[in-house]
A and B are shown apart, each in its own frame.
Chain A
């Protein structure tokens, strides 16, 4: 330490085996192991149709997981993602079916209403200093209540907008590349993930989100307008919930106002399994998507194997704890 030679500041990039890449790798290995296990032991698991089914079952949770990943990295939490999804689906229904407006307006309306509600959560957290857990717990109920009120507690159907029901389950890519029968809902999830990844890693928004989650006070004292970025973070989360709302309502060809409660916990679980730290400052979108896949592969595989529903729930719980434990072990090593 005391020798006078000044170490040159080498321009080395971070090593490949940083904690983040490790965690992603671990989650990925778990996913591959699960796929291998079920392929070997569950007949009819490893078929193209089932893989498509798994992807479709991942789409909604994956997108909600990405939404909540933004907020968790920023050091917050959003418990309203599930019911926010419901509310945005209802908004799409009102715009398209009740008001009879064109499809693009319905899509934008769903995303915008999610972003707007998210911004409200963010403002309540940033300006009124309400802890995120409480603020979004409130928002969860508000969104659920509004979804019921706006819809008259009845599903809204999209029969007047025939293209709407095709939005999510159709496979546009199979028309471009024959044989790749990936439904649009799944493609939307991947696109959301790629864009979210770019936003988090390449843009100032992402850099600010990581800074907020790592040390909000230091960010504030660096002259950063912390409140504004926080509101933006929750707005982004809400907007992505809007995309989830479109996927789910298109698939069911109806906005179901009673659906969505409890989805927030699955989304948070996907993020956590994927290595996002609930303490903030650490996490990746890819990890969350892998986490969401782990959950749906597990559910699907156990179901195909004929394991009782009750045990599937238990196994999912175990996976969450194991994932976080691996995270802790890896962090200690780093």
Chain B
């Protein structure tokens, strides 16, 4: 499409420097974007992608270097200045006002006026929004409240908002992280359309398959430095990963073991509204059971129900062969079940508390003298032990967990449950928000845990991850388990077939 470089790139960044107290975030980074291309920006967390894009969108000021738009040197003192030059960003977390309509969100702060400029011209507002949606070829009611829309549609509203500023440069930060397959396809269609209209898209992602699918070129960053820019189509994934991590990763590793025959957990006939329908499965000691399926298939709901976080309509849960009543998370924990949510900041960690307190939190009652006083020395020792065991990178155990990277936060949560002697570990998207290098480490950790006899459930939307880890794979669709596969032999196609096996039966 844009194999012929146009004479003057749309965006050109040269020798960009940025330091924060104690960190050199960017060192002589360059990046360019042509009109009508999708340029993927890749790198591990902390590689400097976000900082670079914050400079491009006027959030940060560079310490050195040059930015040219259409060949003209520019300064971008504020996000507003960047927007005026046609540079917009779609953040991973959307910044929309839920109680306003799509049209009101798009034109917030720039509403067309009427009647001496006192009243908002709602009709024109809607017309203008509808026109943008039409240009994007999406079917969204401009008068609908954003809060009632799916994340995918909210994202389209954000894109429409960017376009309303006549955006020529669109930065998208992990836009598919909360979308299902259909929605991703839809988004890609919109992006193709933008390309055709000459918009340049900077696409930040961790997902290799998306890069292959949508990007024209890939720029890899590592440790705040520019590494290389490559044509997306002709470059092997393993090459890109290698550039990102600076070391070789064993590609397409598959699960090998099978777990033992000792049944640890068996659930029978779980039901909860439309989200969980007659779900039954068993899990053995030493086994990793993958749960695959599209977003909204009911996997997280099953996990939360087993953990006692949400009430069940019916069904039984057997732990080590005995039926147990699990009404609250406290019951589940008492039965050795741990749930590691994908949203660690909200459900996994008390981010304002230290590594020590987070690791020991579920076990505090074991560290009491006179039944009241915390034995902080003992807590410290055991926290140190787990920090060492799981190789948590933290300056000390008193560090607040909000300051740790995603991978290390996940390790802290894992440590919490290991210390609590949980032998059934349910991981919901264990590597979400974790960079590639740390992912491999988490994978190895899960395998070690299984080898030590823990029974593990892994819920993941990334098929390579499910295939990489699972001894056995349960696939869900519309609240029911549509099939089980042998992890060592299953293919992505097998999983997708089951994941889309909709039943016509009305609930």
**A/B touching: CB–CB < 8 A:** yes
16 contacts between A and B (CB under 8 A): A1-B44, A1-B223, A2-B245, A6-B391, A13-B396, A202-B376, A204-B374, A205-B372, A206-B374, A215-B351, A218-B350, A219-B361, A222-B329, A223-B330, A223-B333, A224-B361
- Select the stretch in B52-60, B340-348, B475-483 that faces chain A: B340-348
| A residues neighboring B (CB under 8 Å) | 1-2, 4, 6-7, 9-14, 202-208, 210-211, 214-215, 217-225, 281-282
Contacts A14-B398, A221-B329: A210 and B223 contacting too (C-beta < 8 A)? no
**A residues less than 8 Å from B347 (CB atoms):** 217-218, 221
- Select the stretch in B114-122, B189-197, B362-370 that faces chain A: B362-370
**B residues less than 8 Å from A202 (CB atoms):** 373-374, 376
Pairwise interchain contact A210-B353, C-beta atoms closer than 8 A: yes
Can you list the 3 inter-chain pairs with the closest CB atoms, starting with the nearest?
A223-B333, A12-B396, A9-B387
Once bound together, how far apart are the Cα atoms of A7 and B396, in whole Å? 10
Q: Is B384's CB within 8 Å of the partner chain A?
A: yes
| B residues neighboring A (CB under 8 Å) | 44-47, 222-223, 245-247, 307, 309, 328-330, 332-334, 339, 341, 346-354, 357, 361-362, 364-365, 368, 372-374, 376, 380, 384, 387-388, 391-398, 405, 416, 420, 437
Closest to B224 in A: A1
Once bound together, how far apart are the Cα atoms of A12 and B354, in whole Å? 12
Contacts A211-B357, A214-B352: A222 and B333 contacting too (C-beta < 8 A)? yes
Pairwise interchain contact A6-B393, C-beta atoms closer than 8 A: yes
Once bound together, how far apart are the Cα atoms of A210 and B372, in whole Å? 15
Contacts A204-B365, A222-B329: A1 and B47 contacting too (C-beta < 8 A)? yes
Pairwise interchain contact B394-A214, C-beta atoms closer than 8 A: no
Pairwise interchain contact A11-B352, C-beta atoms closer than 8 A: no
Contacts A2-B437, A14-B398, A223-B329: A204 and B416 contacting too (C-beta < 8 A)? no
Given contacts A207-B374, A222-B416, A223-B330, 15 further A-B contacts (CB under 8 A): A1-B223, A9-B396, A12-B395, A13-B398, A203-B372, A208-B364, A210-B353, A215-B346, A217-B346, A218-B347, A218-B349, A219-B350, A220-B329, A223-B334, A224-B362
**A residues less than 8 Å from B341 (CB atoms):** 221
Closest to B372 in A: A203
Once bound together, how far apart are the Cα atoms of A189 and B17, in whole Å? 56
Nearest CB on B from A196, distance (A): 14
Nearest CB on B from A217, distance (A): 6
**A residues less than 8 Å from B437 (CB atoms):** 2
Pairwise interchain contact B374-A203, C-beta atoms closer than 8 A: yes
Once bound together, how far apart are the Cα atoms of A7 and B392, in whole Å? 8
Which among A2, A12, A224 has the greatest number of chain B C-beta atoms within 10 A? Answer: A2
Q: Which one of B247, B330, B384, B391 contacts A11 once the chains associate, using CB atoms below 8 Å?
A: B384
Q: Which one of B45, B247, B352, B392 contacts A281 once the chains associate, using CB atoms below 8 Å?
A: B352
**A residues less than 8 Å from B332 (CB atoms):** 223
Contacts A207-B364, A211-B361, A219-B350: A10 and B329 contacting too (C-beta < 8 A)? no
**B residues less than 8 Å from A12 (CB atoms):** 395-396, 398
**A residues less than 8 Å from B353 (CB atoms):** 210-211, 214, 281
Once bound together, how far apart are the Cα atoms of A214 and B222, in whole Å? 34
**B residues less than 8 Å from A210 (CB atoms):** 350, 353, 357
Pairwise interchain contact A9-B394, C-beta atoms closer than 8 A: yes
Once bound together, how far apart are the Cα atoms of A96 and B172, in whole Å? 72
Once bound together, how far apart are the Cα atoms of A206 and B347, in whole Å? 20
**B residues less than 8 Å from A10 (CB atoms):** 395-396
Once bound together, how far apart are the Cα atoms of A221 and B341, in whole Å? 9
Pairwise interchain contact B384-A9, C-beta atoms closer than 8 A: yes
Once bound together, how far apart are the Cα atoms of A222 and B339, in whole Å? 8
Which among A4, A205, A210, A222 has the greatest number of chain B C-beta atoms within 10 A? Answer: A222
Closest to B381 in A: A11
Pairwise interchain contact A211-B380, C-beta atoms closer than 8 A: no
**B residues less than 8 Å from A214 (CB atoms):** 350-353
Nearest CB on B from A212, distance (A): 9
Once bound together, how far apart are the Cα atoms of A196 and B288, in whole Å? 47
Closest to A2 in B: B246
